[in-house]
Amino acid sequence: MAAKNKKSAIRALYDAVEQYTAAPTAKTYNYKQVSSAIGITTPSQQRAVAMHLAELAFDGLIIEVAPGKYKTPERNVVATGTFVRRANGKNSVITDEDGEQIFVAERNSLRALNGDRVQVSICAHVKGREPEAVVTAIIEKKDQTFIGTLNVERNFATLSTDSKYLANDIILPKNKLKGGQSGDKAIVKITSWPDDAKNPRGEVIDILGQAGENNAEINAILAEFDLPYKYPAAVERAADRINPDITDEVIAARRDMRQVTTFTIDPRDAKDFDDALSLRRLPDGNLEVGVHIADVTHYVRPDTIIDREAQQRATSVYLVDRVVPMLPERLCNEICSLRPDEDKLTFSVIFTMDDNARIIDSQICRTVTRSNRRFTYEEAQEVIETGHGDYADEILTLDRLAKILRDRRFENGSVDFDRCEVRFEIDEHGHPISVYFKESKDANKLIEEFMLLANRTVATAIGKPASRKKPKAFVYRVHDVPDVSKLSDLAALSRTFGYKVKTNGSAREVNRSLNKMLADVKGHGEENLLSTLAIRSMAKAIYTTHNIGHYGLGFDFYTHFTSPIRRFPDMMVHRLLDRYLNGGRSVNAEKLEDLCNHSSAMEQLAANAERASIKYKQVEYMADHLGEVYSGVISGVTEWGLYVELDDNKCEGLVPMRDLADDYYDFDDKNYCLIGRRHGHRYRLGDNINVQVARCNLERKQLDFAIVDDNNKPHGLDDLGVKVPVAQLLKSKKSRKPAKTKTRKQSSSKRRK
């Protein structure tokens, strides 16, 4: 009887889901929206809703327009949207109405370029076939620039692009080359693309240098993501005119902390010291800990040329061999940098706490400070490990407090993702000659913990005002809950290895289970698989005025206050704090949200550029090791092949599906593996594997591997008479004179706080 009732309840739930999806008012929806609409609240029933939506999509009754997002097939015949062009011909349009991505054949594209606003006619949906659209008009053309290599002929020139958005060469008139020669890396703007022409027409915007030369290639990466690769001279001149002197009147208006022991701890190659810590014992026995942040906004006034440039950039960009700063170097490396033995203006959060790191009081105020010592992370770490050195008592006390704060944070639900970062040692020509890993040790965690505490305290002060007053508009750093389907997949896969990950309950309980799994899995064969999937289940953190808390940290209120030299949102927070602490009214939330959205978008672009620069250096480094065999781990599984991360250097390359010639492999996206049809062999995410470096394409930043057997022989290729080209495997290395080495100019470690 109970089983019959349960079956009836499930059928009733399915009927309610189908009734909702069939309603003409339903546009796009996910399992949460459907559950809310039909009154489903329990996690188990919500999972049933999610599963039934997936079944309906599999049967073609609804359409999955994005992972976990669906719509009913009926749609308008005409729609508007954003065109997405791909070099492989798989063009599409993302519709404004519901965000659905619909295929557009090249013959139906009207020569639209990536990012153009278009009007399309959507073909009637046929079950079992991919929806298709035809571009009928280009509503708004996006400015298009492409990076590539020039080939100058007698009467004209062409640009062979590096872009994944354009397969065609661009034709250039000889009088529009800006002095460019064959082999130069150039930025080109498309000026026209006649309907009867196979290739677009364009003109050169800038010459970056000779293709293959380090500066040209790195600047090309920045230009690819529409990021600035040089600083405007007018902004530099404005910075040169800033008076760095601190007057008595300015000091009198601030809390003077120059007599309190203060120091910075930064990467050894850093020049912009934007945070310092101070410590002293108070007469009542408690401790006073000061987190002091460079007061950038004292020098950078709103709506000045420097401010507008910083706002547009929104962030410093950290590439393999350089930092492209948000602010002119005179500000970030000199005037604002908290250099030792110099009076500096700071914005501070000053904590009174006991010896168990319990916070008794906190104060947010403008200060003037003087750093007594500049520590590198390595120097501070040596003090922690040996107990000896300059300011050993202060560093050891702060380290002890930080460890208590850290343990407490994890106890309260913060997720512990602690992954090493890959760094390259480069020669004087920018060529990578070795790889090393940056690990986060106690000194790094000490700084991280007090920065987190300051950011949280500032956000709480504004977001949770006293006396139940309405919070004023503010910039929050938020992090949404994990993707429920990805978390469920992680939990299911973890169970097969004997680990338990909770998918329901409070965030604190779920994150504790994640932390336990991540700790227990260390050193085991499945570590790469499960830790990778745990990270992928998480949402991306963004800036917004709408506070939903920070899931990954387990904080109800969080912002970015501690890095105004390298992040514009921190400058925004400093200005808002100054306004509100002085009794000012709330700012316009809509305008603030626009700035938040821009900052989030620029942060993502900067991250993409950083990854592209790392990928470029990985390919450049591995080009010196063609034909060599390495052990690695499968770091990604797709329908086009396997991504493998090498154990020795963390370089990642692709084993293309076409090179898995020993069988025909099917992609199992649920279990993150490829399965051979004939022999049943599986390649799964996290598996250990041996590969040979087969191909290196610097222009495309592509690194290809070939799987090898126990005898270091390419696996499966001989069966079909196919071999990796000898010329590629045994490519002679360029002769290079021994050169002095250097590491990247500044580390990116501090920006991750």
**pLDDT 10s digits, 387-445:** 999 999 999 999 999 999 999 999 888 888 766 778 888 888 889 998 888 888 999 99
pLDDT at 406: 95
Q: Give me the torsion for CA of 376, 379, 380, 385, rounded to 10°.
A: 150
**pLDDT 10s digits, 693-712:** 999 988 888 899 999 877 66
CB 297 within 8 A of CB 574: yes
Looking at residue 219, its amino acid is: N
pLDDT at 128: 55
The number of beta carbons lying within 10 Å of the beta carbon of residue 740 is 6
**Mean local confidence (pLDDT), 575-592:** 95
- The residue among 497 and 619 whose pLDDT is bigger is 619
Q: 2: pLDDT confidence band, cut at 50, 70 and 90?
A: low
pLDDT at 351: 98
Least confident of 323-337, 512-526, 577-591: 512-526
Q: 734: pLDDT confidence band, cut at 50, 70 and 90?
A: very low
**Mean local confidence (pLDDT), 205-212:** 92
Q: Which residue has the tokens 């400058």?
A: 571
Burial 644-665 (b: 16+ CB within 10 A, else e): bbbeebbbbbbbbbebbbbbeb
**Mean local confidence (pLDDT), 249-269:** 95
Contacts with 503 (C-beta within 8 Å, 6 or more apart), sequence order: 43, 484, 487, 488, 491, 510
pLDDT at 567: 97
Sheet harboring 117-122: ordered strands across? 101-104, 91-95, 78-84, 117-122, 133-140
Written as one string, the DSSP assignment of 18-44 is HHHHHSTT--EE-HHHHHHHTT--SHH
Q: 16: pLDDT confidence band, cut at 50, 70 and 90?
A: confident
Burial 556-581 (b: 16+ CB within 10 A, else e): ebbbbbbbbbbbbbbbbbbbbbbebe
Identify any residues that bridge with 276 across adjacent strands, giving them in sequence order. 292
**pLDDT 10s digits, 446-501:** 999 999 999 999 999 999 988 778 899 999 999 988 878 888 888 888 887 888 88
- Where is 239: in which H helix or E strand? helix 233-240
CB 80 within 8 A of CB 95: yes
Share of the chain above pLDDT 70, in %: 91
pTM: 0.80
**pLDDT 10s digits, 143-200:** 888 999 999 998 899 999 877 888 889 999 999 999 999 999 999 999 888 878 888 9
pLDDT at 624: 92
Q: What is the mean pLDDT of the chain?
A: 86
